[in-house]
């Protein structure tokens, strides 16, 4: 069953439901001549229209006030970021698109530097589909082949009603070490999403053909407000990917605990915004016919191949 057909069967699905799935496998994890992946173990629109003010908040310039929330801002490979998504970076809950964009960014800017490895970043829509299906085996043709991955990153959302678009109130992160048959859950409001993460873990195990040992890592850095859960997920995703899995040689054991780490949510929001602005600048400078023949908010600058 094609991915688009699968999600269309669930009415009112997440906004990124109509995007194409991420590539079957995104390259990653440390490069070496060995074929064994590192082992995982748990231990407990205008250029620069937004600027940071002295209080650390993002300020909106006058010429961007014309854009509506649903207007496109930037198309990055398979993800079209809207003005609403950009606005969320000011201090609101991150949307599915924010997290999908971040996964696209990590795939193209980090994982492709390690072409011999196999880390998979599943999109929020795929994870939501997996969580809400009764029989995971019916999704084998709709999802990437998880059996070929060394590690799988899954953003978890607590929405249980597929009829509510952009439903749910909390994000967390599940990271699966396929070779070690383990799954680590990082929840910045622990144990808020523990039940949802266990459910996804169980259904992913069905697709893999074996059970996964689930660990809810209680030493995960905790958020200090009610809106930074998505930022924590994006921070943890990059840290675990770049500083852990991609930073060691194959066959080495990787410590996957985040104990003692501190998350600068405000700084992370600014960094994500700067990345979006940088990509938008790059796309706007492009001389490709695709970007030069369109204008305005109806056709945002694009990055990536057709």
Q: What is the DSSP annotation of 3-43?
A: HHHHHHTSTT--GGGGSPPPPS-B--S---S-SSPPEEE--
Is 276 among the catalytic positions? Answer: no
Distance (Å, rounded) from C-alpha 96 to C-alpha 230?
A: 9
Nearest to 174 by CA among 156, 190, 191: 156
229 classed as catalytic: yes
Looking at residue 101, the DSSP 8-state letter turns out to be: H
Of 14, 151, 170, 232, the catalytic one is: 170
SS3 141: coil
Point out the catalytic residue in the list 187, 232, 234, 276: 187
Contact criterion met (CB below 8 Å) for 153 and 175: yes
Going 241 to 219 to 213 to 169, the CA torsion angle's sign is: negative
Query: For this structure, is 53 an active site residue?
Result: no
Closest CA to 183 of 42, 283, 49, 306: 42
- Cβ neighbours of 186 (radius 10 Å): 28
Q: Catalytic: which of 88, 229, 234, 276? A: 229
Catalytic residues: 170, 187, 229
């Amino acid at each position: 069953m094609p991915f688009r057909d699968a999600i269309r069967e669930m009415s009112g699905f997440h906004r990124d439901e109509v995007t194409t799935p991420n590539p079957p496998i995104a390259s990653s994890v440390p490069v070496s001549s060995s074929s064994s992946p590192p082992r995982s173990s748990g231990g407990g629109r205008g250029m620069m229209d937004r600027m940071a003010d002295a209080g650390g908040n993002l300020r909106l310039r006058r010429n961007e006030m014309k854009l509506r929330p649903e207007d496109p801002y930037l198309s990055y490979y398979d993800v079209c970021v809207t003005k609403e998504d950009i606005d969320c970076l000011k201090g609101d809950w991150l949307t599915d698109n924010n997290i999908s964009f971040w996964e696209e960014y990590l795939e193209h800017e980090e994982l492709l530097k390690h072409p011999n490895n196999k880390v998979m970043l599943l999109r929020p829509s795929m994870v939501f589909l997996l969580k809400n299906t009764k029989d995971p085996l019916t999704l084998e043709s709709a999802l990437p082949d998880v059996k070929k991955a060394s590690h799988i990153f899954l953003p978890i959302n607590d929405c249980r009603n597929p009829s509510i678009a952009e439903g749910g109130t909390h994000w967390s992160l599940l990271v699966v070490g396929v070779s070690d048959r383990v799954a680590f859950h990082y929840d910045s409001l622990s144990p808020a999403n523990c039940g949802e993460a266990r459910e996804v873990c169980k259904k992913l195990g069905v697709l893999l053909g074996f059970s996964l040992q689930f660990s809810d890592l209680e030493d995960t850095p905790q958020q200090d407000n009610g809106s930074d859960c998505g930022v924590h997920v994006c921070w943890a995703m990059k840290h675990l990917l770049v500083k852990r899995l991609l930073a060691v040689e194959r066959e080495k054991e990787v410590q996957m605990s985040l104990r003692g780490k501190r998350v600068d949510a405000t700084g992370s929001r600014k960094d994500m915004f700067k990345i979006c602005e940088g990509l938008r600048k790059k796309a706007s400078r492009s001389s490709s016919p695709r970007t030069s023949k369109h204008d305005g908010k109806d056709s945002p600058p694009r990055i990536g191949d057709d």
